[in-house]
């Protein structure tokens, strides 16, 4: 038969244990939430047999894409498994941005010593502008959202676009790599460096959880094909001079005809 004191102690013990366990659970859940730096939103990929086979296949592929992207995004933030190398990965990412490439090509175009150098830099500038237009067109048509970013930094605020598909860094890296290999690079060691740079730039987008695997894969294929279009639309120095002279001649004819009409009146 239990005494009032034992009942009181048992009640106290029974009342304090659940609160302590709940406190530990809450602390553990908070630590898991802080350590789990995932930039990918949880999407519903549930399917039913009544849906068309094409919709089921598409959802299955999107689920695989999301799973792979989560696995690769190991530098999403400082608390990620590879968060210590995040600044280095961001530096590699910056090397594939369009602004440094445009500034470098325009400077080389203005400072070119020979007509051949200016011709190459002119076509590279036009290729970069074409890449911007085509990527923006496809992104506007597809409207695929980027991975959800928990923490926006200065780089993300000013340089990250709204849409994700395709990866502009991947298209630019593939196109510029083919351009450099065709116009400047002739040794095997330099070719390995150029191809390695393009691969690292594309991989940096996945490591930082900026984009999905399919965005980068399609971007590489798109950039590879874009250089073929650049070769077909190559602007030579003579062609450029002919275009400029033709426009100059048209303007002179308009001015001359205007003076002639004024004198005639």
Token digits of residue 15:
């009342």
pLDDT given at position 82: 82
Handedness of CA 223, 227, 233, 234 (dihedral sign): positive
**Confidence bin at 27 (pLDDT 50/70/90):** very low
Is residue 182 a part of any domain in this protein?
yes
Is residue 112 a part of any domain in this protein?
yes
For residue 179, what are the domain limits?
A: 73-243
Q: 0.75 exceeded by the pTM?
A: no
Beta-bridge partner residues of 145: 163
Q: pLDDT digit string (tens) for 151-170?
A: 445 444 445 567 888 999 99
For residue 47, pLDDT over 70 is answered with no
Is residue 204 a part of any domain in this protein?
yes
Is residue 88 a part of any domain in this protein?
yes
For residue 173, pLDDT over 90 is answered with yes
**Confidence bin at 55 (pLDDT 50/70/90):** confident
**Portion of the chain with pLDDT greater than 90, in percent:** 31
**Confidence bin at 179 (pLDDT 50/70/90):** very high
pLDDT given at position 72: 85
Average pLDDT over residues 107-117: 83
pLDDT given at position 144: 86
DSSP alpha helices (H): ranges in the chain? 4-35, 53-72, 86-94, 98-110, 115-142, 154-159, 168-183, 188-207, 213-232, 237-264
Better-predicted residue by pLDDT, 121 or 240: 121
Better-predicted residue by pLDDT, 148 or 177: 177
Average pLDDT over residues 137-144: 89
Is residue 225 a part of any domain in this protein?
yes
Is residue 200 a part of any domain in this protein?
yes
Is residue 194 a part of any domain in this protein?
yes
pLDDT given at position 133: 94
**Confidence bin at 257 (pLDDT 50/70/90):** low
Side-chain-side CA neighbours of 254 within 13 Å: the count stands at 6
Task: Pick the range with the lowest mean pLDDT from 10-14, 71-75, 176-180, 242-246.
Answer: 10-14
pLDDT given at position 250: 57
Is residue 190 a part of any domain in this protein?
yes
**Confidence bin at 147 (pLDDT 50/70/90):** confident
Token digits of residue 233:
């639309």
For residue 15, pLDDT over 70 is answered with no
Contact 218, 205 (CB under 8 A): no
Q: How many domains does the chain have?
A: 1
For residue 104, pLDDT over 80 is answered with yes
Q: pLDDT digit string (tens) for 116-140?
A: 888 889 899 999 999 999 999 999 9
């Amino acid at each position: 038969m239990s005494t009032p004191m034992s009942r009181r102690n048992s009640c106290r013990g029974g009342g304090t244990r659940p609160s302590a366990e709940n406190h530990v659970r809450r602390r553990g859940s908070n630590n898991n939430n802080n350590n789990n730096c995932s930039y990918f939103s949880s999407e519903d990929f549930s399917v039913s047999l009544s849906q068309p086979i094409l919709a089921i296949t598409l959802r299955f592929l999107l689920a695989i894409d999301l799973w792979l992207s989560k696995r690769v995004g190991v530098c999403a933030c400082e608390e990620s498994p590879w968060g210590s190398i995040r600044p280095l990965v961001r530096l590699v990412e910056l090397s594939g941005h369009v602004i440094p490439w445009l500034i470098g090509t325009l400077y080389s175009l203005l400072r070119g010593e020979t007509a051949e150098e200016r011709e190459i830099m002119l076509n590279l500038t036009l290729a970069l502008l074409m890449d911007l237009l085509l990527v923006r067109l496809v992104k506007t048509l597809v409207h695929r959202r980027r991975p959800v970013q928990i923490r926006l930094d200065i780089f993300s605020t000013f340089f990250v676009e709204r849409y994700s598909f395709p990866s502009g860094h991947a298209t630019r890296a593939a196109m510029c790599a083919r351009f450099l290999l065709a116009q400047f690079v002739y040794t095997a060691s330099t070719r390995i460096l150029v191809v390695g740079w393009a691969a690292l730039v594309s991989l940096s987008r996945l490591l930082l959880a900026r984009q999905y695997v399919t965005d980068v894969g399609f971007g590489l294929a798109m950039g590879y094909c874009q250089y073929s279009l650049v070769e077909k639309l190559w602007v030579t120095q003579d062609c450029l001079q002919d275009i400029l002279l033709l426009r100059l001649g048209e303007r002179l004819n308009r001015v001359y005809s205007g003076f002639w009409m004024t004198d005639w009146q």
